[in-house]
């Protein structure tokens, strides 16, 4: 049996570190607004502070992405991830004694940490991939990370079931949950701190370390290239649908009283189904990497879009219009709310999300291997910016408007992604044609002119 490559082990350990950090963060994200609502009844915070907290996180995250690449370059990808992950830990610990001022300050700190954490992850992943392992490693990392949602859902279900917690979450249960979340966050930080330095590729051996102004300028120049402007639509859509599956849809489940007596346990079941959707999609793209690569990234993205459009229709049929805003006994768009439909929709929502994110990771690592920090910083800039906006309007819009926005942006994003893939294919054919021409040698003759070596032109529209 051949030994596992060091790069593969690095990606696995990276995934394990993110598993523990996001076991904590994603699990608390599912219950943050219900927890805040319960605490608000005791007079400590505003009842919509959970939405405001998430909005602050993604607002700061958006701005911080412009300084993330230089910080990652200075600290190294590993230590930048450790610094970013520590902000998540500080945020979790704040729920041991909920204070609205600390909640908002720690939310801002987490947003800054998230920019560094995710840009560091993209950079570290890029350094452990080559053209033959990009799709497999991206899907493998995604599957390991997102399995935390299933584990978190099981944990939440056990806690709520054993404590017989119904709609109101008592302080004792909140303390238990966030003690566990804080400890798991620390375990994740240890995993990241023990990451090995990836092997240095031949094309990076003599690569100078860029200064902050140079890196910042490089990020802005990349932002206005043709492909990155098109990808902005895809990145933005992933931000809107991320806010939906992590915050808005779980809140809908918790606030839809016709789903059953213990909506918090049902919320945990939804988390499990979403986790299964992520794992199955990511696992399929990892195990079947060679076959899915032949299909093409655009085919997988199209599959994800179709799956999510089916999901949006199911959510509209099943969930009451007021569910994102308040507890309701109303019927869904067409029928009385059914738990099995809600769970299936959670699975489909996450499956489509995994289709989108794994292919975006694969594309960025493939196309921007020399500018991975800048590319991933821009990805998270657009994604977090639209997540911020979606969480802000999440407490104000009825469900049908959420779904209308999702459908429209999904269609635009899919078209933009297809255009980028066509540009990539065209450039690849052009390179192959150039290489074929360069391999042809003129007969040596005193009359033959000396052809200078071809220079590479930095075209900002490539």
**Average pLDDT over the chain, rounded to whole?**
82
Measured distance CA(368)–CA(355) in Å, rounded: 20
Choose the weakest-confidence range: 72-76, 93-97, 198-202, 308-312: 198-202
8 Å CB contact between 144 and 16: yes
The pLDDT tens digits of the residues spanning 232-281 come to 999 999 999 988 988 789 888 888 888 877 767 787 888 888 888 888 88
More confident of the two residues 278 and 18: 18
The pLDDT tens digits of the residues spanning 24-77 come to 988 887 777 778 877 777 766 777 787 788 778 888 988 888 788 788 888 889
- pLDDT reading at 445 higher than 60: no
Q: 170 to each of 38, 39, 41, 157, 161, how far by Cα in Å?
A: 7, 8, 11, 15, 13
**6-198+212-424 falls under which CATH superfamily?**
MFS general substrate transporter like domains (1.20.1250.20)
**What interhelical angle do 49-75 and 77-93 show, nearest 10?**
160
Choose the weakest-confidence range: 133-137, 172-176, 326-330: 133-137
Provide the b/e sequence for 93-115 (b: ≥16 CB within 10 Å): bbbeebebeebbebbbbbbbbbb
Domain ranges of the chain: 6-198+212-424
Confidence band for 438, pLDDT divided at 50, 70 and 90? low
Q: How many Cα atoms sit within 13 Å of 91 on the Cβ side?
A: 30
Count of helices and strands (H, E) across the chain: 15, 0
């Amino acid at each position: 049996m051949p030994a596992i490559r060091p790069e593969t082990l690095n990606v696995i350990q990276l995934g394990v570190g993110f598993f523990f950090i996001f076991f904590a963060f994603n699990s608390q994200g599912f219950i943050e607004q219900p927890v805040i609502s319960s605490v608000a009844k005791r007079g400590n915070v505003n009842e919509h502070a959970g939405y405001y907290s998430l909005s602050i996180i993604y607002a700061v995250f958006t701005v911080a992405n412009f300084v993330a690449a230089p910080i990652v370059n200075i600290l190294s990808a590993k230590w930048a991830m450790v610094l970013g992950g520590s902000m998540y830990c500080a945020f979790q610990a704040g729920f041991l004694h909920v204070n609205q001022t600390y909640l908002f300050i720690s939310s801002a700190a987490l947003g800054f940490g998230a920019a560094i954490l995710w840009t560091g992850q993209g950079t570290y992943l890029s350094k452990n991939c080559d053209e033959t392992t990009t799709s497999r490693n991206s899907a493998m990392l995604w599957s390991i990370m997102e399995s935390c949602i299933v584990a978190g859902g099981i944990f939440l279900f056990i806690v709520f079931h054993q404590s017989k917690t119904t709609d109101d979450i008592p302080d004792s249960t909140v303390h238990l949950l966030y003690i566990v979340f804080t400890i798991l966050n620390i375990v994740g930080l240890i995993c990241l701190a023990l990451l090995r330095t990836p092997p240095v590729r031949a094309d990076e051996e003599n690569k100078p370390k860029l200064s902050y102004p140079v890196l910042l300028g490089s990020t802005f120049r990349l932002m206005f290239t043709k492909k990155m402007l098109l990808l902005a639509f895809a990145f933005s859509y992933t931000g809107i649908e991320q806010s939906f599956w992590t915050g808005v849809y779980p809140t809908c489940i918790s606030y839809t009283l016709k789903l059953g007596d213990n909506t918090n346990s049902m919320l945990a079941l939804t988390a499990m189904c979403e986790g299964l959707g992520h794992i199955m999609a990511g696992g399929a793209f990892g195990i079947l990497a060679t076959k899915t690569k032949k299909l093409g990234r655009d085919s997988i993205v199209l599959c994800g879009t179709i799956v999510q459009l089916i999901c949006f229709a199911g959510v509209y049929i099943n969930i009451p219009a007021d569910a994102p805003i308040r507890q309701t006994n109303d019927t869904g768009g067409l029928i009385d709310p059914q738990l099995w439909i809600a769970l299936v929709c959670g699975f489909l929502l996450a499956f489509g999300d995994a289709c989108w994110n794994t292919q975006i990771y694969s594309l960025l690592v493939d196309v921007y291997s020399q500018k991975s920090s800048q590319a991933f910083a821009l990805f998270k800039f657009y994604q977090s910016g639209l997540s911020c906006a979606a969480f802000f309007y999440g407490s104000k819009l009825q469900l049908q408007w959420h779904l209308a926005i999702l459908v429209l942006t999904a269609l635009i994003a899919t078209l933009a992604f297809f255009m980028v893939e066509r540009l990539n294919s065209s450039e690849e054919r052009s390179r192959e044609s150039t290489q074929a021409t360069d391999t042809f040698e003129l007969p040596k003759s005193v009359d033959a002119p000396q052809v200078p070596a071809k220079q590479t032109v930095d075209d900002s529209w490539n």
